[in-house]
Structure 1
Amino acid sequence: MVGIRIRELRSDRGMTLTGLARSTGLSAGLISQVERGLTDPSLETLRRIARVLDVPLFSLFRDAEPDSDAVVVRRDRRMQVSSPHGGISYQRLSPGSGKLELLEGTLEPGAASSAKPWSHPSEECVTVLSGQLLVEIGSARHDLETGDSCYFDSRSPHRYVNPTERRTVFLVAITPPSF
Structure 2
Amino acid sequence: MESLGARIAAALRREREGAGLSVSELARRAGISKATVSQLEGGTGNPSVETLWAIATTLGVPFAVFVDDDEPATTLVRARTGAPVPSELAPYSATLLTASPPQARRDLYLIRAEPGGIRESAPHTRGTTEYVLLMTGAARVGPADAPVLLAPGDFLSYRGDAPHVFEALQPGTTAVLLSELR
TM norm structure 2:
0.82
Letter in 1 for 2:180: T
Shift of 1:99: 4.1
Shift of 1:46: 0.9
Deviations 1:105-160 (A, max 9, x none): 0111223223xx42223222211111001014142131111111112222232111
Shift of 1:43: 1.4
Pairs aligned (count): 171
1:175 maps to 2:164 = no
Whether the aligned pair in 1 keeps the contact of 2:119 and 2:167 (CA below 8 Å) is: yes
Distance in 1, matches of 2:39 and 2:174, equals: 32
- Counterpart of 2:11 in structure 1 is 5
Q: Aligned match of 1:54 in 46, 49, 60?
A: 60
Shift of 1:89: 0.9
Letter in 2 for 1:12: G
Question: What is the root-mean-square deviation of aligned Cα atoms in Å?
Answer: 2.3
- Counterpart of 1:31 in structure 2 is 37
Distance in 2, matches of 1:25 and 1:95, equals: 25
Distance in 2, matches of 1:43 and 1:174, equals: 14
Shift of 1:73: 3.3
Q: Counterparts of 1:153-168 in structure 2 under 5 Å?
A: 153-164=159-170, 166-168=171-173
- Counterpart of 2:133 in structure 1 is 127
Whether the aligned pair in 2 keeps the contact of 1:73 and 1:94 (CA below 8 Å) is: no
Unmatched segments (≥5 aa) in structure 2: 1-5
Distance in 2, matches of 1:19 and 1:127, equals: 37
CA separation of 1:47 and 1:77: change in aligned 2, threshold 3 A: same
Q: SS at 1:23's partner residue?
A: helix
Whether the aligned pair in 1 keeps the contact of 2:123 and 2:164 (CA below 8 Å) is: yes
CA separation of 1:144 and 1:65: change in aligned 2, threshold 3 A: closer
Letter in 1 for 2:39: Q
- Counterpart of 2:76 in structure 1 is 73
Distance in 2, matches of 1:74 and 1:60, equals: 18
CA separation of 1:140 and 1:85: change in aligned 2, threshold 3 A: closer
Deviations 1:66-99 (A, max 9, x none): 5xxx532332763432224671111222244354
Q: Aligned match of 2:122 in 118, 121, 136?
A: 118
CA separation of 1:77 and 1:137: change in aligned 2, threshold 3 A: same
Letter in 2 for 1:83: S
Of all paired residues, the percent bearing the same amino acid is: 27
- Counterpart of 1:14 in structure 2 is 20
